[in-house]
Amino acid sequence: MAERTRIILAQPRGFCAGVERAIEIVERALQKFGPPVYVRHEIVHNRHVVESLRAKGARFVETLDEVPAGQITIFSAHGVARTVENEAGERGLHVIDATCPLVSKVHIEGRRYSAQGREVILIGHEGHPEVEGTMGQIPGGVHLISAPEDVARLNVRNPEMVAYVTQTTLSVDDTCAVIEALKRRFPAIIGPDTKDICYATQNRQGAVRNLADQVDLVLVVGAPNSSNSNRLREIAAECGKPAYLIEDASQLQTKWLENTRAIGITAGASAPDGLVQDLIAALGERGPIDVSVLSGIEENVRFRMPAELADSAA
C-alpha cells in the first residue's frame, strides 16, 4: 500500500431502523427500570453492541428459565415463537418486544395464509433465530426450504393450497430463484414475491454490487452469525471481487491488501459505524488513503417505540 489507496464506502451501510429501534429499546428500558434488564438472545447479531449494552446492565440469556420471575425481559429483534411468548406469560415476566416490525409483518402474513387453510413454506436458513421465531408463530406447521433444489422434496397435502413467506435478511437473487422453483412446481402458490426481504437488506445488497464494480477488494464489517452481513460478502464475491467478513479492524490481514488500489467497505445492518471508522483508521496506518462515499439511497426510516417506552429518552 505504498501508493495512495482509495477507500470507497458503500451507501447505505450499517444500522437499519429495526436494529436502531431494538438497541434503543434496551437503553430506554435500562433508563426507565434500572438494571438488570434481561434480553432473550443477542438483541442484534453484533458482539460489540452486546458488550456495550451488557456494560450498561443488560443481561443476555438464551432461555427464559435464566430470568427470575417478574423481571423485565426483552425479546430480540429477530422475534420469538408463540411458545416463548406463552412461557413468559406463565412466569409473569414483564415483556418488552423488540421484534423488528418487518419481521412481525412476516409473522402476520404467515398466520393469515394458515388461517386460509394453506400450507406455509418458509424460505430461510435453518437454525437462524428469525426463522425459528417465524416457524413458531405460524400454526399448523411450516415447511422450511433454503434453495431451489429443496422444492422437489416438499410433500404438501394440496398443491392448490400453498403459500410462502421469507426470512427478511436473505439474498434477493437467491430468494427469487427459490420462488421461481416454487411457482414452477406449484402454479397456484401465493406469496409476497421478495417484499418480505426488508428494505435495508435490499438497499445494502444493491449498494455492495455497485461498490464491487469500482474496487479491487471488499471488506464487510459484521458478525459471523449475522445473516445479512454474510449475504453482503457473498454478493461481493459473486461480483468477482475478493471479499472478507470481519468483526472489526483487528481481523484485517495485510496479505489481503497486496496490489489493491481501491478498497470497498460496507457494513451489515447490525454493525455500528464506529467499527467502520476504526477500520478506515487501521487502513490509514498502513499508508496514505483517500476516503469517499459512493452515492446511494438515503434511508429515513424510523420505527415507533413500544408504548411504555415512548416517553423515555435514552
Handedness of CA 124, 102, 111, 129 (dihedral sign): positive
Catalytic-labelled residue, pool 130, 234, 258, 285: 130
Residues 185, 215 contacting (CB under 8 angstroms): no
How far CA 140 is from CA of 78, 135, 237, in Å, comes to: 21, 10, 39
Task: Give dist(CA 280, CA 307) in Å, integer.
Answer: 39
Task: Give dist(CA 22, CA 248) in Å, integer.
Answer: 21
Task: Give dist(CA 139, CA 122) in Å, integer.
Answer: 13
24 is catalytic: no
> Residue 274: left (phi > 0), alpha (psi -120 to 50), or beta?
alpha
Enumerate residues 6+ apart whose C-beta is below 8 A from 257.
Answer: 1, 5, 217, 263, 283, 286
Task: Give dist(CA 221, CA 170) in Å, integer.
Answer: 17
Q: How many CB atoms lie within 10 A of CB 203?
A: 21
* Helix/strand/coil percentages in the chain, nearest 5: 40, 20, 40
Largest interatomic CA distance in the chain: 65
Residue 118 one-letter amino acid: R
Task: Give dist(CA 230, CA 26) in Å, integer.
Answer: 25
Query: Which helix (DSSP H) or strand (DSSP E) does residue 266 occupy?
Result: strand 262-267
Catalytic center residues = 130
